[in-house]
Amino acid sequence: MAESGLRQGSVLRHPAAAPLVVLAAGAAGAGYLYVTDPHEPGHLLPRCPFRLVTGLLCPACGGTRMVYDLMHGHFSAAWLDNRVLLLASPFALALLGRWSLEGLRGRRWRPSLSRWAQGLVLLVAMAWTVVRNLPGGLLP
């Protein structure tokens, strides 16, 4: 048998493999979401386990509707779906872009947050969960 020059599994070990798989899965999910309105019931979309168990909105609840609204140019609706997630999205996309770029350059990149930054993210998520679940609806 002729040797192909690539060891079996070496492509999957390349630093770009994981970010490219994440990008492909995201593109496939976005394609499905683009033609599936999450504002309407009866679609094959995941439900929030936190909300199923507690009846409360988690920090990410509304994220699917937010992405759908963004893809269709409904920015004010996306803002109402999940404000904090909308504001955090550019940072998440920048991290994904950096991860992909470093992988394509043949380097492994693992972002790390300081303890202070981790605490800040946790504090914002907890505060957002409390604010959006206050009785009487502090937010529209």
C-alpha closest to that of 128 among 52, 54, 58, 47: 58
Exposure string for 76-111, b = 16+ CB within 10 A, e = fewer? eebebbbbbbbebbeeeeeeeeebbebbeeeeeeee
User: What per-residue confidence (pLDDT) applies to 140?
Assistant: 57
Instruction: Write out residues in the chain with pLDDT < 50, as ranges.
Output: 1-3, 5
- The pLDDT value given to residue 80: 94
So what's the pLDDT on residue 77?
Answer: 97
Q: Is the Cα torsion angle 21, 124, 56, 69 positive or negative in sign?
A: negative
Report long-range pairs for 83-87 (Cβ below 8 Å, ≥24 apart).
83/139, 84/59, 84/124, 84/125, 84/128, 85/59, 85/60
Distance between CA atoms of 117 and 108, rounded to whole angstroms? 22
Smallest CA-to-CA distance from 63 within 128, 137, 18 is with 128
- What does the pLDDT read at residue 46? 87
- Both tokens of 117, joined, read 């930054």
List, as own/partner pairs, every contact residues 48-55 make where C-beta atoms lie below 8 angstroms and the sequence separation is at least 24, other chains included. none
